[in-house]
Amino acid sequence: MPLLDALLEKNIRLVDYEAICNKQGERMVAFGEIAGTAGMINILSGLGLRLLALGYYTPFIHIGMAHHYRNIKGARKAIHRAGSYITRNKMHKSIGPLVFIFTGSGNVSNGAQEMIRELPHKYVSVKELPMVANYGSTNLVYCCVVSRKDHIVKKDGGKYNKLEYNQHPEHFTSLFAQKVAPYASVIINGISWPVNSPRLLTTDDAKDLLRPVNNPSLSTFQASPQLPHRLLAISDVTADPGGSIEFVKECTAIDTPFCLYDVEQNKLKYGSMQGPGVLICSINNMPTQLPLEATEFFGSLLLPYIYDILQSDINKSFEEHSFTHEVEKAVITSEGKLTKNFEIITDLRAQN
């Protein structure tokens, strides 16, 4: 941590925008919504390329990566145009119904859903997933927003309890791999994953998911290739290697946005859309793909705290300032030491 050491040595007061939270612990300044928007655009683009490699020309092939557009409006138009083809039954019946799963209901999920709504779509509940995945229509896409209560249960069989989960996540387990993932075509992951909390998908789960399935809605057409498995793509907007989706072991990059996870070799493969596996996109700086909106969006969130931050006087002690609650709790270093909220960093460094 050379940077932290330099901050302490030079007596710099550091305010971390990621730590600006309200009294409920909710982040007030974050790129989440823009990241979700970019992550959705990217995975639609990747889905078109992956399906083409599998032998299917689809409307998604006309959607570019997020940074290929001047702004979000341009991306919306491209997605909407692709949606018009889907409405007119231009999707191959042998692909079957496409089901998009959105994990969480926060900023990332909301940003992603803004984009999917440009396609003909229908929202369904977790209980409806088996029906629509097997017997749904191909002239629209299905969307399902999955929250904790939909898949988190206690290890002893009890129901999900938010307060207890936040205090003791290790007492709970996830049924996402059994109740949700088997019906997903694309997963857009937007949840934070605290250590000791249950994962959405483990490496062992992938072995069951990434194998051929019998789908009554998939008609047999001459010259129509067989999809390797239902789950085609994952957009891990959280970009948390080895986190809630265990087999996403590393982040991808803007210049190499996609890789395929080969479950047999337990390995991420780059350079080709062909071969076995599920498509992964996990770029850790997605907002930079939409710089215009990201700058305006972030600035509008930070602006209410700017004047409070500017009153910081290095000649005064931290305690002499009358910062707002949000800014006060976001100060990491002051007067050559860590503030009370961040003293745990010293212990963590000692352990490593």
Contact status, residue 231 vs residue 187, Cβ threshold 8 Å: yes
Whether the model pTM is above 0.85:
yes
Q: How many residues does the chain have?
A: 352
| Helices 72-87 & 107-116 angle (0-180, nearest 10) | 50
pLDDT at 189: 98
Q: Is 143 helix (H, G, I), strand (E, B) or coil?
A: strand
Which segments of 183-222 does DSSP mark as H helices, in order? 203-209
Task: Please report the pLDDT score of residue 195 as a whole number.
Answer: 85
Reported as a single tens digit per residue, the pLDDT across 280-321 is 999 999 999 999 999 999 999 999 999 999 999 988 999 999
Exposed, middle or buried: residue 320 (CB in 10 Å: 0-12, 13-18, 19+)? exposed
pLDDT for res 222: 47
> What pLDDT does 225 receive?
73
pLDDT < 50 regions, the chain: 219, 222
Cα distances (angstroms) measured from residue 319 to each of 203, 217, 328: 48, 66, 10
pLDDT number for residue 224 = 60
> How far is the C-alpha of 281 from the C-alpha of 246, rounded, in Å?
14
> How far is residue 344's CA from residue 119's CA, in Å, rounded to a whole number?
47
According to the model, what pLDDT value does residue 93 have?
87
The rounded distance, in Å, linking the Cα atoms of 174 and 162 is 14
pLDDT of residue 234: 98
Q: Are 197 and 240 in contact (CB under 8 A)?
A: no
Homologous superfamily of domain range 32-289: NAD(P)-binding Rossmann-like Domain (3.40.50.720)
Domain assignments of the chain as residue spans, ordered by start: 2-16+305-351, 32-289
